[in-house]
Amino acid sequence: MANYKRTVSKLLRSGFVLQEQRCCYECWTSTAHRGTVSFHREGDEASVFKVHSSMPDRPEFDEFNSFYTNNLSRAIEMSKVIG
């Protein structure tokens, strides 16, 4: 599990903005790309990162495909490609 403060700092440095925040969940969207990184938060820890596009992969079915990773750097790179 990643440290929450370092996770937020790295997302901000990488050009992400907070899109949605609940008590245990956060969703961040890239300003330069259309990729999105979301994760669940448990205290000061961030769980597995979910990477998906802000646009549906198959719009006719409103289908979004997602990828999961434990590494934030990899999640950021994948969000650039997927967006």
| pLDDT score of 80 | 86
Per-residue model confidence as pLDDT tens digits over 15-71: 999 999 999 999 999 988 878 999 999 889 999 999 987 677 777 877 777 889 999
Angle ∠(34,7,78) on CA atoms, nearest 5:
35
Q: How many domains, the chain?
A: 1
SS3 76: helix
Confidence category of residue 83, pLDDT binned at 50, 70, 90: low
Q: Which domain covers residue 25, as residue numbers?
A: 2-82
Query: What is d(CA 36, CA 52) in angstroms, rounded to the nearest whole number?
Result: 5
| pLDDT score of 82 | 76
pTM, full prediction:
0.84
| pLDDT score of 61 | 78
